[in-house]
Amino acid sequence: MLANHFQDTFRHMEWADATVWSSVLESPAASSDLFIAKTLFHIHEVHHSFLNAWQEKPMERFKYESFDGLKAIHHWGLAFYAKLPAFLAGVTDEDMESPSVLPWAKYFARTLGQEPAATSLRDTLHQVASHTMHHRGQVLRRMRELEMDPPTIDYIVWAWQDRPAADHPSTT
């Protein structure tokens, strides 16, 4: 049951990300804004970092400067969503409480004033969804500052629309 909840949560996250990306890429003001570009990069940096950790792959450093513009960042973001369903399909409710080791957690000890406590897969899945929501909200706020009407991406709106699949903009 909990595993199904996270599948739904991440389906919404993908839909909301795709909706935001469509609005950004359609707007000259938003698509040329450095804050928006770097925030979208950060969202996908976190996505890829956590997916690597969940799959017990080595930690990888991603650099904004290594991408040739916003469309390249968007294309990279799509790669996460291409891999995520297979990972989530293999997660059971029993897996939710299994330890999730985050290689970068030790770097937060100083900020926390203590060593990070153990986290579960459930904790980290929740973290990715809430972290993405937070930064997506920053992008929407910036769009308002640019005198744009940002899209409505609330979970309940997605549910009212019968949970549509993400409609990703073209990366070409």
Q: For residue range 44-79, what is the model confidence (pLDDT) as tens digits?
A: 999 999 999 999 999 899 999 999 999 999 999 999
Other CB atoms within 10 Å distance of the CB of residue 74: 24
Buried-state track 13-22, b at ≥16 Cβ within 10 A, e below 16:
bbbbbbbbbb
Domains identified in the chain and CATH numbers:
2-160 (1.20.120.450)
Residue 26 clears pLDDT 90, i.e. is over it: yes
In whole angstroms, what is the distance from residue 108 CA to residue 165 CA? 36
Q: Assign 154 a pLDDT band (cuts: 50, 70, 90).
A: very high
Nearest to 15 by CA among 154, 122, 170, 160: 154
**How buried is residue 145: exposed, middle or buried, by Cβ count under 10 Å (0-12/13-18/19+)?**
exposed
**How buried is residue 84: exposed, middle or buried, by Cβ count under 10 Å (0-12/13-18/19+)?**
buried
The mean pLDDT of the chain is: 95
Residue 172 clears pLDDT 80, i.e. is over it: no
- Please report, rounded to a whole number, the percentage of residues in the chain having pLDDT higher than 90: 84
Q: What is the DSSP letter of 99?
A: B
